[in-house]
Amino acid sequence: MTKKAVILVSGGLDSSTVLAMAKQQGFDCYTLSFDYGQRHRSELFAAAKVSEAMQVEAHKVVSLDLGTIGGSALTDTNIDVPEYETSGIPVTYVPARNTVFLSIALGWAEVLGANDIFVGVNAVDYSGYPDCRPDYINAFEQMANLATKAGVEGNKLTVHAPLIDMTKGQIIQAGIKIGVDYSVTVSCYQADEQGAACGVCDSCRLRKQGFIDAGLKDPTRYKNSA
């Protein structure tokens, strides 16, 4: 009998790698993305493409208007996406985003009868985001096991964050080994509609450096100006 898992996919490099890892571990994969008012909407197309390429059982997109509560450069058009982050928590941080996304994944897992959720959070490259740390993931898992029917009935739910301690270079190396095609993934905070990246935002710089560190050719499509 195969086991079901819900995988949060953004269309980006990290979550695409996580999806490939879940598949390699033999899970039937159900991918979940969010239309949450993000500026970089091309990530939704990338999430669908990646899901199709990896032959998932189903890919769902949940609409969620996080722009209503504001507070992030990614959903609030009054806040500019900076080219270089200062220290501390970045303005691209979306308040409680991972908590909200994991909660909805938890709901879907419950509907599917899945006991496993995979998420591409990473504590190394995103040290400024509080909800990318191992302590946070453990606390979410504990809460989740008290929140649901499955938990009440004794089926332990596990939140897998396999990238949490990996550098971007290590993630890319691991993904290439199991056949991830990074050319269809989009990481840029302000990619154009065709998914071409700006090349200068924080997310682009991390990704570029990742391919350099991994010693691999960068297949990312950049805008002409970048």
Record the tokens describing residue 173, joined without a space: 């190396």
Do residues 81 and 201 make contact, with C-beta atoms less than 8 angstroms apart?
Answer: yes
Of 158 and 183, the one with the shorter C-beta distance to a copy of itself is: 158
Q: How far apart (Å, rounded) are the C-alpha atoms in residues 22 and 188?
A: 24
Residues paired with residue 141 on neighbouring β-strands, in sequence order: none
CB 94 within 8 A of CB 75: yes
Which of 28, 45, 53, 64 is the binder for a copy of itself (CB under 8 A)?
A: 64
118 lines the binding site for a copy of itself (CB under 8 A): no
Q: What's the token pair of residue 205? A: 């710089």
**Under the criterion CB under 8 A, does residue 80 sit at the interface with a copy of itself?**
no
Options 45-53, 94-102, 184-192, 206-214: segment touching a copy of itself (CB under 8 A): 94-102
Structure tokens at 28: 């039937």
150: Cβ contacts below 8 Å, ≥ 6 apart: 109, 110, 113, 115, 157
Q: Of 106, 119, 166, 172, which lies in the binding site for a copy of itself, with binding defined by CB under 8 A?
A: 106
Q: Does 65 bind a copy of itself (CB under 8 A)?
A: yes
Pick the binder of a copy of itself from 118, 126, 136, 189 (CB under 8 A).
136
90 binds a copy of itself (CB under 8 A): no
Per CB under 8 A, 143 contacts a copy of itself: yes
DSSP, residue by residue, 82-117: PSS--SSS-TTPPTTHHHHHHHHHHHHHHHHT--EE
116 near a copy of itself, rule: CB under 8 A: no
Q: What is the DSSP string of 140-162?
A: HHHHHHHHSHHHHTT---EEE-T
Q: For residues 36 and 189, which CB has a smaller minimum distance to a copy of itself in the complex? A: 36
What span, in angstroms and rounded, lies between the C-alpha atoms of 89 and 31?
28
In the list 48, 53, 62, 174, the residue contacting a copy of itself (rule: CB under 8 A) is 62
Binding span for a copy of itself by CB under 8 A among 45-53, 135-143, 161-169, 211-219: 135-143
Q: Which residues contribute to the site for a copy of itself (CB under 8 A)?
A: 60-66, 68-71, 89, 93-100, 102-104, 106-108, 110-111, 130-131, 133, 135-136, 139-140, 142-144, 146-149, 151-152
